[in-house]
Amino acid sequence: MRAHLLTCEGCSREWRRVSNAAAPDGGAADRGLLAGILAGIESWESAPSRTEDVKARVGSAIASFLGPHATDELLGAVSAQGDNLFSTLEPVVALFLGCRAASALVDHLVARSIPRAL
């Protein structure tokens, strides 16, 4: 995540906004932002079937590159909640593509795999 934030101004800006919202002296607007993020996380965590959907979408996207066996092995290392899906995927893909390309691929997978309704 740190590597991505160093290269992506948009995400860095959002990270600063969220960090400011989490600070004890954050403004009222920022506290509303944080409350919305926390509500979204709670909603996401209360729908466990979404985790499997995201894992399946990511799996189908990377299977043609890694092969079905390697994809199954990689996704097998992901927790049941899926909270380490992309952090598990990125270092492995970086071995093949390099760090910048792996980061770009993970960004693409996040954008295509996670429903926008969150």
pLDDT in tens, 30-67: 667 777 777 777 776 666 556 677 888 888 888 888 88
pLDDT in tens, 65-96: 888 999 999 999 988 778 888 889 889 888 88
| pLDDT of the residue at 108 | 85
DSSP state letters, 9-78: HHHHHHHHHHHHHHSTT--HHHHHHHHHHHHHHHHHHT-HHHHHHHHHHHHHHHHHHH-HHHHHHHHHTS
Is the pTM above the cut of 0.85?
A: no
Instruction: Please give the structure tokens belonging to residue 23.
Output: 């600070």
